Structure 1
Amino acid sequence: MDDNTFLPKLSQNLLEILEDNEYYDTTIEVGNDPYVKIFHAHMVILYYRSPYLRRILSTNRKKNDGILTHIKLPNISPEVFQIILRYIYGGRLSLKEYDTLDIIKILVAANELSLQELITHLQSFLIINKENWINQNFNLIYQTSFNNDTFLKLQNFCIELISKEPEKIFNSIDFNSISEKCLITLIKQDDIQLDDIQIWEHVLKWGIAQNPELPSNSSNYSKDDFNTLKITLKQCIPFIKFYNLSSEEFLNNVYPYKKIIPKELREDLLKYFLNPKNQSIKKLNNSKSIDSKIITLQHAELISKWIDRLEITDEIKNSYEFKLILRGSRDGFSSSKFHEICDNQFHTISIIKVKDSDEILGGYNPTIWDSFFGYYSATEDIEDCFIFSFKSNDSTDIANNILSRVTVKKYAIYNDSNFGPSFNGLILFGSNYYDESYCRNSSCYEKPIRETEEEFSVEEYEVFQIMKTGKTDAKKELKMRKELKGLK
């Protein structure tokens, strides 16, 4: 018999005790005037179920004088406490019957009562089941999570959302109501995946929304209007990477608001954009974004260096565009889907997130993928193949990586309709890449990129086409693509 067989009956009996008004020894006054409700409870259950109530009861132990212990909880509404009290007694809580705002209220109340088990469960429920709602009401979730040190799961979710999907936040229905502190947290992220001109436009939109008295058309702004907006955005301006903008973007989107930019910075920007050859001011390197659920811009920059055979400390020579062409969660995890999308695509990076791990694996194929059976070594570019791994997707831990370049060129890339991206030392195999993918210690590459050769499951994977930015480079890539297709 299952050890848990008797738990449902126990839960039912404890809830019956809660509803029995005869044997209670504690009263709990919940809420504030004019809406206050008195609940009856049992000291022994409260003592062992809630650390917060335990502390109160420990300083107010019941004496054998027939007087009931009385507790006040003014910060919790009676409706929410009713839900939590039933959880305390019966260990039951069906969240599907409550709307998201109610669940957040339950979470805040659970935190006050130090119900850690419930706090963890509620955070997970919100993240898994209410992601769309969070995207649309980001400010509320952000403020709630960072006002409470125990809401670490929600905090991490917010940080990841800021970094990887900032547009969801900027387009949320409550974006204009976020605090200045929250906005600065958003725009100062080094790996925020948003173009700098978009960041400027969103910041400007937020600043204008804080001052509804401003004219709808900036051409009608008075000196006082510009000064009002300048004061509002004073703390945000230093985090805008103006030097990453094109001359056209600066002229059309920034210059009309030049009066809100500090004088010294404004003069430097004018000098810079009037004379683009002037290199006295160095561009920051966050002018591009990457559409990835796995890696950050820092990972992409390091991969770009590897493509150019540079060290991690070297300065980037070429600017590469990472164009997403396949994502497993969007397009599917089958080898057939991989070849449908990626065959005949040149210069691709495959990125793999290992399930139940922070580990990231990947490989660079400078040639094309194909469905024919065998190894592919049709061009001299094959010598630029490499595979790699990162211990985590944390951009601050990017140095914790393994890079392994090809040593036996003719066995660098393996093509087969039954395989996904396959680099000999890194293989995705099967109809769904579940428990059939692996890294092995292949002599065709310098070294293994994983400590184990055990098979693993793929949580997510993405394939990017890598292209140098600029018209000249684009023409070269197009020519190379035609040449590669001619080899078919």
Structure 2
Amino acid sequence: METYSNLEKLSNDLKNLFQNQNEEESYFDFEIICEQNQTSFKTHKSILSSRNVSSSILSSILNYFYSGKIKINLENAIQILIFSSKYLIDELIGISLNFIKNHLQIETIVDILKLSETMNLNKLLNSSYKFIFENFDKFIKTPFFLELEENHLNSILSNYEISIDEFELFQSIIKWGKHKSNINQEKDNQKLKKEEKEKLQDQISNVIDKIRFIDFTKQELKDILKEDLIPEQISQKLIQFQKLQENENELNQFIEKELKDFIEKENGNENSFIFKPKIGLNCSTIIQEKEHFNKIREWINDDKFFSKMRLGFSTQRDGFNCFKWHDICDDQGKTLVIIKTKDNFIFGGFTSVGFISNDVYWSKIFGESGYIEDENAFLFSLRNDKNDRKPEKFPVIYLKHRTALFYQDDIGPTFGKFSSDLFLDEKLKTGGTNFGRSYDLPYGIKYGTNEAKSYLAGSYDKWEVDELETFFI
């Protein structure tokens, strides 16, 4: 069988069909009228639909020209934006853009990212990223995460606003790599063929360095190295890291050298997170509500500190041990301490001078312990389910700011005098809140009363720590 074509004749026929605007028997079924000079163009819905947009979209846009009204919904917004951008219809560009930004959804966000980049719509692109950052814990569990382009995934992983367990993030990136490499998701990682592993390693090579392997547990690190899915240049570093985990001094030196070498190599562009701790309150497992996040930022009132502070100590990661807490947290300057109890109370304190180790001035005067002056210190309460209170800040009393903090190397962080406003024992498991001695109580509550003692944690000394986090730069 042979096929013959005469595209030139077909093209001429269609051109003549359009140019015969004044002939009554040309079977036009649609007319476009330019309002400025009342010029009209007769055309055919079938041609417009196949070469431009659907007739319903065109009808909506033409209706807007005449009435100033248009119905935009989730089904037609993108098509209206594309059409209005193509033909520079500024009002409709603005209307459709605002609608899309206000109706972002996980199901369509990847398409919006691609569209924003293709059409150079930077504001929509930024809004799309912000939506992903705020909903990342949900987004990463959907099949839409697997459809991300590599450059979009890189931008997302490079942002400090995402909050998720690093091992879970690693597993999701492996799934993404399998999807992009057309490898069966159900296939056991250790049973992948050599060529499949090489294909997967190549696919994830440009995004895997955004994983903070430093936050993996020893078992998690052992498991991923056993699977042999990580590109060699990273896996070799992780093997070194793994060998040094029992020697803290050598491990810290190794991490510092790796970061220094990378920064110098990349001319100061620190975009590899392999041995870089998370930064910012977004990595907190205690602070999960946006209201709490914003309140702490407002109270600290130091954007530079707030944006650069890192999670120095976490009982989830570092265990319940006050000596380790002092080793990590002493002499760090501005320090934020957050406590969550077993009963779901969330409270803590902030100091602008930090806790002091044994070899500094205060400890030399007082021996093993001493009081620390800080006029900017404050305590705070974020969640009090028992009394349903709003977040509150309690500044250090002006006449008591010389005893804002108490230092002793065999107890946990202590705000106020010894065994007073807020203190933790040597195991960081329990403590006390004899609130109001050095820090302002809410109006009408007297120091020493049961109400004062139970205000932060629900009781004076019968509460247990569920989690403790300490942040500093």
TM-score by length of 2: 0.53
Deviation of 1:281 after TM superposition, in Å, equals: 1.8
Deviations 1:140-182 (A, max 9, x none): 1211222223461x32322212333312321233222221111
- In structure 2, relative to structure 1, the CA distance for the partners of 1:474 and 1:41 (3 Å cut) is farther
Which among 231, 236, 242 is matched to residue 267 of structure 1?
Answer: 236
Code of the aligned partner of 1:80: I
CA contact (8 A) 1:138 1:175 kept: no
1:120 paired with 2:94, answer yes
Deviation of 1:45 after TM superposition, in Å, equals: 7.6
Residue 78 (structure 2) aligns with: 104
Cα distance in 2 between the residues matched to 1:316 and 1:143: 44
- In structure 2, relative to structure 1, the CA distance for the partners of 1:322 and 1:423 (3 Å cut) is closer
Cα distance in 2 between the residues matched to 1:424 and 1:317: 17
1:145 paired with 2:77, answer no
Cα distance in 2 between the residues matched to 1:421 and 1:180: 40
Residue 83 (structure 1) aligns with: 60
Code of the aligned partner of 2:230: I
1:231 paired with 2:232, answer no
Code of the aligned partner of 1:480: G
Code of the aligned partner of 1:120: G
Deviation of 1:223 after TM superposition, in Å, equals: 1.2
Which among 272, 276, 280 is matched to residue 284 of structure 1?
Answer: 276
In the TM superposition, 1:52-451 aligns within 5 A as 74-95=51-72, 98=73, 100-128=74-102, 130-131=103-104, 134-150=105-121, 152=123, 154-214=124-184, 216-252=187-223, 254-258=224-228, 260-276=229-245, 277=247, 278-279=251-252, 280-282=254-256, 283-286=275-278, 289-290=283-284, 291-293=288-290, 299=306, 302=309, 345-347=346-348, 404-405=376-377, 420-423=390-393
CA contact (8 A) 2:31 2:42 kept: no
Q: What is the DSSP-based 3-state SS (H/G/I as helix, E as strand, rest coil) of the residue aligned with 1:136?
A: coil
Code of the aligned partner of 2:188: N
Cα distance in 1 between the residues matched to 2:197 and 2:108: 30
Deviation of 1:205 after TM superposition, in Å, equals: 0.7
CA contact (8 A) 2:110 2:148 kept: yes
CA contact (8 A) 1:166 1:192 kept: yes
CA contact (8 A) 1:145 1:151 kept: yes
Cα distance in 1 between the residues matched to 2:143 and 2:371: 49
Cα distance in 2 between the residues matched to 1:114 and 1:382: 68
- In structure 2, relative to structure 1, the CA distance for the partners of 1:480 and 1:220 (3 Å cut) is same
Q: Alignment identity in percent?
A: 15
- In structure 2, relative to structure 1, the CA distance for the partners of 1:271 and 1:424 (3 Å cut) is closer
Kindly tell me the number of residue pairs found equivalent between the two proteins: 317
- In structure 2, relative to structure 1, the CA distance for the partners of 1:321 and 1:188 (3 Å cut) is farther
Code of the aligned partner of 1:265: I
Deviation of 1:229 after TM superposition, in Å, equals: 0.8
Cα distance in 2 between the residues matched to 1:303 and 1:239: 17
Runs (5+) with no aligned partner, structure 2? 1-17, 22-27, 257-274, 298-302, 313-324, 326-330, 353-369, 402-411, 414-423, 435-452, 454-458, 463-473
- In structure 2, relative to structure 1, the CA distance for the partners of 1:422 and 1:159 (3 Å cut) is same
- In structure 2, relative to structure 1, the CA distance for the partners of 1:176 and 1:303 (3 Å cut) is closer
CA contact (8 A) 1:243 1:269 kept: no
Cα distance in 1 between the residues matched to 2:339 and 2:188: 37
- In structure 2, relative to structure 1, the CA distance for the partners of 1:91 and 1:265 (3 Å cut) is same
CA contact (8 A) 1:346 1:481 kept: no
Q: What is the DSSP-based 3-state SS (H/G/I as helix, E as strand, rest coil) of the residue aligned with 2:113?
A: helix
Residue 267 (structure 2) aligns with: none
Cα distance in 2 between the residues matched to 1:202 and 1:324: 31
Deviations 1:285-310 (A, max 9, x none): 218724353559973754979xx9xx
Runs (5+) with no aligned partner, structure 1? 1-25, 30-35, 47-61, 309-313, 326-339, 350-362, 364-380, 387-403, 426-441, 447-466
Cα distance in 1 between the residues matched to 2:37 and 2:389: 57
Deviations 1:351-389 (A, max 9, x none): xxxxxxxxxxxx9xxxxxxxxxxxxxxxxx999998xxx
Deviation of 1:103 after TM superposition, in Å, equals: 1.8
In the TM superposition, 1:438-477 aligns within 5 A as 476-477=427-428
Q: What is the DSSP-based 3-state SS (H/G/I as helix, E as strand, rest coil) of the residue aligned with 2:214?
A: helix
Code of the aligned partner of 1:107: L
CA contact (8 A) 2:101 2:128 kept: no
Q: What is the DSSP-based 3-state SS (H/G/I as helix, E as strand, rest coil) of the residue aligned with 1:92?
A: coil
